[in-house]
């Protein structure tokens, strides 16, 4: 009668643990409006904030972040400002924000021929080639009419 070594029963468990540690990253994207406080109680002009949250169990490197129009072409509005520079490795449970002036994005969309409330999307590309998207409507005419300067 042969006896199996006790470590044989640990192999399947170790394999499952290893797979869990290397799960595909999971990003949640959000878009919101807001302003920055200024000294004296004033607030800044209106900004569009983009939040990226890593809700997965593994770290992921954010390689690129941009806004695309409905036809899939990037909207040329300049540079997004943010809490970090890209590329940036977002750890599990971490969240970062990027922003652009609402009027600046509205002007770029208007120059591309959009008005009203076109559907656009935030696009995040991560190292390894995965791509995440968040679709939202953007009020081009309303934001261009703001007197926030």
pLDDT of 10 = 45
> Cα(125)–Cα(106) distance, rounded to whole angstroms?
23
Structural domain includes residue 97: yes
Structural domain includes residue 13: no
Q: What is the pLDDT of residues 58-70, one digit of tens each?
A: 999 999 999 999 8
Q: What is the pLDDT of residues 101-135, one digit of tens each?
A: 999 999 999 999 999 999 999 999 999 999 999 99
CATH number for the domain including 102?
Answer: 2.60.40.10
Domain of 98 in residue numbering reads as 24-144
pLDDT of 3 = 58
pTM: 0.80
- Helix, coil or strand: residue 78: coil
Structural domain includes residue 18: no
Structural domain includes residue 122: yes
Structural domain includes residue 92: yes
Structural domain includes residue 138: yes
Of 25 and 142, the structure prediction assigns the larger pLDDT to 142
Structural domain includes residue 30: yes
Domain count, the chain: 1
CA 55 to chain CA mean position, Å: 12
Of 79 and 136, the structure prediction assigns the larger pLDDT to 136
Structural domain includes residue 10: no
> Cα(29)–Cα(49) distance, rounded to whole angstroms?
11
């Amino acid at each position: 009668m042969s006896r199996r070594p006790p470590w044989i029963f640990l192999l399947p468990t170790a394999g499952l643990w290893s797979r869990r540690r290397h799960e595909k990253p999971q990003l949640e994207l959000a878009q919101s409006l807001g302003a920055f406080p200024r000294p004296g109680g004033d607030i800044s002009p209106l900004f569009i904030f983009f939040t990226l949250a890593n809700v997965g169990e593994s770290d992921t490197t954010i390689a690129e972040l941009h806004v695309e129009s409905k036809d899939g072409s990037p909207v040329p509005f300049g540079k997004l400002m943010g809490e970090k520079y890209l590329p940036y490795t977002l750890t599990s449970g971490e969240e970062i924000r990027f922003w652009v002036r609402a009027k600046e994005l509205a002007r770029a969309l208007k120059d591309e021929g959009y008005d009203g409330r076109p559907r656009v999307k935030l696009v995040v590309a991560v190292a390894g080639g995965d791509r995440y998207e968040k679709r939202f409507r953007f009020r081009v005419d309303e934001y261009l009419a703001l007197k926030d300067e």
